[in-house]
Amino acid sequence: MYLLGLRLLPLLLPLLSLQQQDLSENKVAIGRMILPALEKATSFMEKRFRELNLDGVVGFWVLEVQLKGVLEKWGQEPALKPLSLRVENIVKKLLPLITRATIYLKLSDSMYFKEFQETLQPGFWNLPHSWSQINTSMIYSKFDNSDFFSEELSDSCMALLLGTKKEGLQPCTVTDVCRELMTKPGCTGYTLSHQLLYFLFAKMKGCSDGLFLQSKYYMDIFCANMMALNLKTEEVGYPFLDRDLFMENIMFCGISGYSDFYKPRWLQIILTWQQPKEGCFGKPYDNRKQLPRVGKDQQQSLRRVKRREKGFSDGCSSHKTGVAVAALGGFLYHSAEHSPTITKAR
Ligand SMILES: *[C@@H]1O[C@H](CO)[C@@H](O)[C@H](O)[C@H]1NC(C)=O
């Protein structure tokens, strides 16, 4: 996979000429890099849809939306026809799998499901149609590294926003505690990515009053800092423990319309993290054998720490796979959307 990527690298270099043919070639090159990975991930989904947690299913659902967007953008361009057929094939497989996975999800985690099923509704996820740049002057002078991510509180704020917390409450509800948590400056890690996700959900839900009058401002700040963190991760050689967040940042800020996250070199590195056999993302496949087996008790305590994570015995992770496919789908959509088919440049 990686070798293939290197061979195609010249095609990914910034385009010097905006000729139609070059644009098609660029799209074909990116499609040829990403589609094999997505096909493999779809095979993983076919075998394991019963075991995915909500984050995993959401990731595949976002991918589904992105692939439909890609098909629309590619249209009838002859050079893209073979790739379009492959994308159509993935879409056809994914849709019933997502439906079936959702049924299992409802049975296994009904409480969590009830609060977040909104994010699995058709029409919830909208793709960006214009792109923003990162504003580097918004990067915090200092990150608060002591910061502790309360998943419970964050989930509760998201549910209030989605209108699924309690019967009879309007969506877009913001409490003082939530406002403070979701706009607090200096946060890093998962707190930061969930601050962005909060405003992203608000955008998808159509919340535009009160706090959300400043949505663009906050999203600019959060993604500028998520970019700073991703660049840091790159600088230190992509340590394994940072990869989940690295891909999550690309998924969330990408869907929010920040095109700087779609760096070709980041695409290439993510592709190398896929487990070649299973098609999933999870533990590094080269040293998996050395990792200690997680016992039942440990699994119990891990669940308390990070409910969103669901690891499988073969090293696949539901969360990582979902985040990875949505990030990869974003790269594909961005390349389809960002290098528009210019009818006449000369
Ligand atoms: C970048 O952010 C700074 C600080 O908020 C602001 O003053 C400036 O106008 C922003 N620049 C752009 C191009 O948006």
In this structure, the residue with its CA closest to atom 6 of ligand 1 is 137
The predicted structure's pLDDT at residue 196: 98
Parent domain of 326: 17-131+259-346
Residue 7 domain-assigned (yes or no): no
In this structure, the residue with its CA closest to atom 12 of ligand 1 is 135
Of 131, 133, 137, best ligand 1 pocket probe by most atoms within 8 Å of the beta carbon: 137
Residue-wise pLDDT for 58-85, tens only, equals 999 999 999 999 999 999 889 999 999 9
The predicted structure's pLDDT at residue 147: 66
Residue 316 domain-assigned (yes or no): yes
* CB neighbour list of residue 299: distance below 8 Å, 6 or more residues apart: none
What lines the ligand 1 site, CB under 6 Å?
135, 137-138
Residue 330 domain-assigned (yes or no): yes
Q: If you average pLDDT over every residue of the chain, what do you get?
A: 86
Residue 2 domain-assigned (yes or no): no
Residue 113 has pLDDT above 50, yes or no: yes
Residue 145 domain-assigned (yes or no): yes
The amino acid that residue 183 corresponds to is T
Atom of ligand 1 nearest to the CA of 135: 1
Same structural domain for residues 108 and 203? Answer: no
Residue 85 domain-assigned (yes or no): yes
The predicted structure's pLDDT at residue 255: 98
Last residue of a domain, one of 231, 256, 281: 256
The predicted structure's pLDDT at residue 290: 43
Same structural domain for residues 154 and 44? Answer: no
The predicted structure's pLDDT at residue 109: 77
Determine the average pLDDT of the residues in 217-233.
Answer: 98
Same structural domain for residues 298 and 195? Answer: no
Residue 262 has pLDDT above 70, yes or no: yes
Same structural domain for residues 113 and 186? Answer: no
State in Å: Cα 136 to ligand 1 middle: 8
- Greater confidence (237 vs 22) lies with 237
Least confident residue range of 104-113, 164-173, 224-233, 297-306: 297-306
Determine the average pLDDT of the residues in 173-194.
Answer: 95
Q: 172 falls in which pLDDT band (50, 70, 90)?
A: very high
Say how many domains are in the chain: 2
Same structural domain for residues 249 and 272? Answer: no
Last residue of a domain, one of 219, 241, 256: 256
Percent of residues, the chain, with pLDDT higher than 70 = 83
Same structural domain for residues 238 and 139? Answer: yes
- Greater confidence (263 vs 287) lies with 263
Is-contact 146 84, C-beta < 8 A? no
Same structural domain for residues 240 and 142? Answer: yes
Same structural domain for residues 122 and 267? Answer: yes
Q: Is 247 exposed, middle or buried (0-12, 13-18, 19+ CB in 10 A)?
A: buried
DSSP class of 170? P
The predicted structure's pLDDT at residue 286: 54
State in Å: Cα 139 to ligand 1 middle: 11
The predicted structure's pLDDT at residue 166: 82
In this structure, the residue with its CA closest to atom 11 of ligand 1 is 135
In this structure, the residue with its CA closest to atom 1 of ligand 1 is 135
State in Å: Cα 137 to ligand 1 middle: 7
State in Å: Cα 133 to ligand 1 middle: 11
Same structural domain for residues 102 and 157? Answer: no
Residue-wise pLDDT for 290-318, tens only, equals 444 443 333 333 333 344 566 677 889 99
In this structure, the residue with its CA closest to atom 3 of ligand 1 is 137
The predicted structure's pLDDT at residue 20: 63
Q: 320 falls in which pLDDT band (50, 70, 90)?
A: very high
Percent of residues, the chain, with pLDDT higher than 90 = 71
Residue 317 domain-assigned (yes or no): yes
Tokens of 268: 């290439």
Same structural domain for residues 127 and 189? Answer: no
CA 156 to chain centroid, in Å, comes to 21
Residue-wise pLDDT for 22-68, tens only, equals 778 889 999 999 999 999 999 999 999 999 999 999 999 999 999 99
Same structural domain for residues 148 and 249? Answer: yes
Q: How far apart are CA 100 and CA 122, in angstroms?
A: 15
* CB neighbour list of residue 296: distance below 8 Å, 6 or more residues apart: none
Residue 30 domain-assigned (yes or no): yes
Same structural domain for residues 218 and 295? Answer: no
Last residue of a domain, one of 221, 256, 291: 256
Q: 167 falls in which pLDDT band (50, 70, 90)?
A: confident
Nearest to 328, CA basis, from 237, 266, 245, 260? 266
State pTM to two decimals: 0.86
Residue 112 has pLDDT above 70, yes or no: yes
